[in-house]
Structure formats: structure tokens, C-alpha cells
Amino acid sequence: MMPETTTQTILIVDDSPENLTVLSELLQPLYQVRVATSGQKALRIAASLPYPDLILLDVMMPEMDGYQVFEHLSANPATSAIPVIFVTAMDGTEAELHGLNAGAVDYITKPVVPPVMLARVRIQLELKQARDRLTGQNSWLEAEIAKRMAENELIQEVSIRALAHLAEIRDPETGNHILRTQAYVQQLAQELRTHPRFADTLNDRYIRLLTRSAPLHDIGKVGIPDAILQKPGPLNPEEWKIMKTHAQLGSEAIEMAERDAALPVEFLTLAKEIAHWHHEKWDGTGYPDGLSGDAIPVSARIMALADVFDALISRRVYKEPMPCNEVQDIIAAGRGRHFDPDMVDAFFVHFDAFCNIANHYSDPVPN
């Protein structure tokens, strides 16, 4: 919150030394007074620290009149908020309206009446002080809200990671899988955002929520027995049937969390989509619901490509990591079958970026 000014500063601008003397003697007992005898000098003083709290500006001056000075003050961000009172010998309603329409806060005619002048100056300074205080309070509130939102987002992100690591701890093959897939999802979503099919969906907010949700895609694995989840060899048909239930288990767990929340949590909607449908295939041969094409949510289609890419390019207990060119061939073969064809095309535009992510978050080589 901004501190109150104890000594307020008034800048008096007038080409007449006599007028400057009169106004200075009137105001100096109460305020700090600075003077300028020309428009150019007034602009220099007004733009230097400490900025004046109020400017008393003569209209009729040579070279640069008061209206021109006011235009320059208004155009400069450093001085545009300083209130200006026009003080002039020009009398009449038309001149007063001209000054007020220009943006001045008040208009006083000469010769000034000291009590009236002091009263009007005091009112304008009090109004400025109130505006400054309000601005300071608003800035503090905005900063505090931003701080609280950042804290909440951090807590949310840490909670998501903690939940995702529950699945990771029980599945020794995952390693840095959640970090890699999260980065793939963000990269691919950014590349797709200008595509006509996805532009309406993939805005900044959606991509941010999608990236935050991605680590929960395999949360359902916590419900799979260790004997299946940690089996080093191929799964038999019955075991594979049980393994495939992790998609349904994950979405049901997230749905339960949604029901427990007092208000809707937007990212959980995407998390539930990803957990439930990231094993669906473009041609309808995936699981658990056999969805095909655009019936599969965009979030799940992006996750499907990221998940398969990571499985291919990363080390597993049963295989070494595949080189990028072989992975690219397999992904290309899945275009229009396993994956949305437009997503595969976008994926290949910056394929090296995905390989770099895989290298950056690669799992340590076992001894």
C-alpha cells in the first residue's frame, strides 16, 4: 500500500513574475511550491522527481500556451495523471468550458480570491491523494491475488505430481515417463493450435490445463495388482484384460474427486478424458470404449500419441530404447489407424523437438 505524502508539491506555471509571487506567497505556508515561467520549463519540472501533486497552469503564455503544455503533459505517462487547474485572466463560460473539456480538473480566473483558491487547491489535492491511495490498494490487491493464485497453482501441480508418482512407484518401467509425456503433450498442443481443426479448442488456457492434467493419464494403474503391473514378460490374455481396466479405474478415481469438490475443477475434466480414453485408436480398435475418429476427445488423442512415442523411444525392462528413425516409421504406420492423421503430421514437423525432450528426461542407464 502506498504511503501518504506528508508534503505535497504544487507547480505554478505563469510567464508573469508578479503572478508567480502572488500565488507562491499564498501557497508556500501549506505546500512545497515550484515555479516555471514557460511551458518548456514546466514540462521539464513536471517530468522530474519528485513529480508535482498539482499544477496551476496559466493559459496565455508566449511560445507555448497552457493548452499546448497540457497536451504534452497528457501525452507523457510520467505526467498524465497529474491534475491541472487552469489559472487565467480569460473570463467567460466559453473559455472555462474549453479548459475543462481539454481535461483540466478546475478553472480559476484571475485575479484569484485567496480563500477560493486555497479551497479549490485543497479539494484537488485531497482527491489526488484518494486516487493515489486507491491505486496503491488496487496494486497491492492485484499483487496479492496473483501471489495466491500462483501458490494455489503450485499446490495443485505438486498434488498432481504426487498422485502421478503413486502409479510411477508401483510401475518400475515408468521412470521419468510422466515428465516426458507432459512435455510431449505441451509441445504437440502448441504445434496444433493454429490448425483449422483444433484452433477453436487449443487456446492458451486449454493447453495450460491439458499440460497440467497429463501426468494423471495412468493414475488408474494403482488399482492393478503388482503381479500384473510388474510382470517382466508378456501378459497373458486374462492379465491383459485386467491391465486394460486401468483406464476405467483412473477416470472413476478422478470422477470421485470431482464429486467431492465443492466447485467444478476445470483441469479434472481433461484429466478424466485423458485417463479414460488415451488408449482409444483413431480406427476404433482401442479400449475401453472402442471410440473412433473425432469421437475421441482431442486431449486423449494428443495423449495417445505422446504415450506411444514415449513407450517406443524409452528403455523398458523387456527392450532397449528405439532410435528416432525407427520410432518415426512406427508412428507413421499408425497414421489414420492408431492416431489422428493431422496430429501425426504436426508431430513430424518438429520431430526433433520430441526426440530432444526424450533425451533431456531420459531414464538413467541401469548398472
| CATH number of the structural domain spanning residue 248 | 1.10.3210.10
Q: What is the pLDDT of residue 91?
A: 66
- Alpha carbon distances (Å) from 30 to 7, 33, 48, 62, 281: 8, 9, 22, 30, 79
What's the confidence (pLDDT) of residue 323? 92
Nearby residues of 207 by Cβ (< 8 Å), 6 or more positions away: 186, 189, 190, 193
Neighbour order of strands in the sheet with 9-13: 32-36, 9-13, 54-58, 84-88, 106-109
Residue 160 inside a domain? The answer is: no
| Domain containing residue 34: CATH number | 3.40.50.2300
pLDDT of residue 3: 41
**Residue 223 within any structural domain of the chain:** yes
pLDDT at 1 (0 to 100) = 38
Tell me whether residue 353 is in a domain: yes
> Do 73 and 222 share a structural domain?
no
Cβ-contact 59, 90 below 8 angstroms: yes
Backbone CA torsion sign across 14, 17, 23, 28: positive
User: Mean pLDDT by 10-residue block, N- to C-terminus, for the chain (367 residues)?
Assistant: 62 92 92 93 92 92 89 91 87 67 82 90 90 83 80 68 65 71 96 95 94 89 86 88 94 85 79 95 97 97 96 80 92 97 96 94 73
- 175 and 322 housed in the same domain: yes
Measured CA to CA, the distance from residue 45 to residue 50 in angstroms comes to: 9
Helix, strand and coil in the chain, % to nearest 5: 60, 10, 35
| Domain hosting residue 51, numbered range | 9-141
Residue 57 in contact with residue 42, Cβ under 8 Å? yes
pLDDT digits (tens, 9 = 90+) for 264-319: 778 788 999 999 999 999 999 999 999 999 999 999 999 999 999 999 998 776 67
Q: Would you say residue 155 lies in a domain?
A: no
Chain CA centroid to CA 105, Å: 36
Whether residues 204 and 317 fall in one domain = yes
Contact between 296 and 305 under an 8 Å Cβ cutoff? The reply is no
- Cα gap 121→87, rounded to integer Å: 11
Closest CA to 273 of 308, 302, 241: 302
pLDDT of residue 4: 43
Residues 177 and 239 grouped into a single domain: yes
Q: What is the pLDDT of residue 307?
A: 94
Q: What is the pLDDT of residue 280?
A: 98
- Helical packing angle, 266-277 and 204-213, nearest 10°: 60
